[in-house]
Structure 1
């Protein structure tokens, strides 16, 4: 009786051993040079982004006191949360928000976080090459737009205007969203290449983007917008060189004279306090990119929701169709 009950149990153990052995053999036999390269790329990328995530979280959790704002540098966020009231002698600021903003400033120099970020993110250029040569099955348009926006932000915004971007709290929120997203993504791709499925990781991969994509993309967009010079000098120049009746109307009216006076005064203050207040091709390009950002976010966001329904919609943790998109 006992032998009969033990036999099925032993058979199940042997079958499980055979199944594991077959799976290991399949993985081993499928290790082509391209697959080994992709495994290495995803493993290295996951480790690099995990390190950035650790540093970013450490920075956020590190207590700071007596954080001084840089004199003469009025940032976009400071202006956003400052209310100028003509009935008040001074501006009124939302102190809790200012404390949060100040707390998130300065992460670029924290443990060389900015230096590590720009080179870690630059590795993603390889993902475009992976898609072009068919190493992975991903839409080239989606991959290119995602990689381009990141590379542009790192080199065309953060490194191009360091006096503004390096001390911006938006750099911290952007990097937190990036690093958490990428740590999950590259780990998911690495395990997927080994035919290892994790329900928790699948759920994280196709769920965390819901809050992280808007945080990351909006931080990118407003960080770029923050680096733009003031538009007041342009308005003043247009008005001063305008020979149309509109100029005469402004000069004759009280409101018009006040407008011209305030523009001239603001322009004078900007020239004294700002490092770069000139508009050029790069600044115009950043302004255009700011408006392009939002439809691009919608495109990527809806694409990820489609992928989420495809992967999680037919059962959590299942990879539908067995398509490997590890890039």
Structure 2
């Protein structure tokens, strides 16, 4: 007789304190990314160009994105079930842009339109993502928000990735190429290497989201079918 399979252990109940903390974290994050989105759209519609946009939103974008380092800790210590590797990849690429490129070479943001497209892609993605998580943890997830969370990345991810890559490339061939003191003279090669890493990195993130989408949309479809029976 084949040995019986061990019954799967039930998932431990989520701590109310942990749930409350995560709801608060996601609400605050959605709010601040919403402010970035509102300021970006307002500036684009009312003129002023990339220079005015940079001065309007860079500081807030920088610190709002820096706060996302908490997500690495959340994954590392099991506060959420997000995979650590993909979380680190997502946060690290953003850190590279705000601290490793634009903080050092702010004129890039003032001279290229892809800074605007990057901000739009980032802020729309994060407003949807954080709102989705906050409402899910609260026990209420509108279907339209679920659809947005697992479908808008088809458009927003390529916009964001291409915008990020363009800024890194412009840094490599522009100001970084004119550095004269070691080790700064090595910076262009580092930036080129990062661009190469973007290719498999983008593939991993994209396929991860597609896998998540299939799982969630399948579940949503099943619920819809049961509701109509």
Tell me the TM-score normalised to structure 2 length: 0.84
Aligned residues: 208
- Among 278, 282, 303, the alignment partner of 2:187 is 282
Provide structure 2 residue ranges, at least 5 long, that are not aligned to the other structure.
Answer: 1-12, 224-229
Correspondence list, 1:1-327, <5 A: 32-63=16-47, 106-109=52-55, 112-229=56-173, 277-278=178-179, 280-316=185-221
For residues 15 and 156 of structure 2, what CA distance do their matches in structure 1 show? 33
Q: 1:276: Cα distance to partner? A: 6.2
Q: 1:275: Cα distance to partner? A: 9.0
Tell me the TM-score normalised to structure 1 length: 0.59
Query: Is the 1:158–1:166 contact (alpha carbons within 8 Å) kept by the matching residues of 2?
Result: no
Q: 1:114: Cα distance to partner? A: 0.5
Provide structure 1 residue ranges, at least 5 long, that are not aligned to the other structure.
Answer: 1-28, 65-102, 231-273, 319-327
For residues 106 and 285 of structure 1, what CA distance do their matches in structure 2 show? 30
Query: Is the 2:176–2:185 contact (alpha carbons within 8 Å) kept by the matching residues of 1?
Result: no
Query: Is the 1:224–1:290 contact (alpha carbons within 8 Å) kept by the matching residues of 2?
Result: yes
Query: Secondary structure in 2 aligned to 1:227?
Result: helix
Instruction: Call closer, same or farther: CA 1:135–1:317 in 2, change over 3 Å.
Output: farther
Kindly name which structure, 1 or 2, has the bigger radius of gyration based on alpha carbons: 1
Query: Is the 1:197–1:317 contact (alpha carbons within 8 Å) kept by the matching residues of 2?
Result: no
Q: CA RMSD, aligned part only?
A: 2.3
Note the alpha carbon deviations across 1:140-165, whole angstroms, 9 max, x for none.
11111001101111100111111223
For residues 61 and 207 of structure 2, what CA distance do their matches in structure 1 show? 27
For residues 165 and 106 of structure 1, what CA distance do their matches in structure 2 show? 10
Query: Is the 2:29–2:64 contact (alpha carbons within 8 Å) kept by the matching residues of 1?
Result: yes
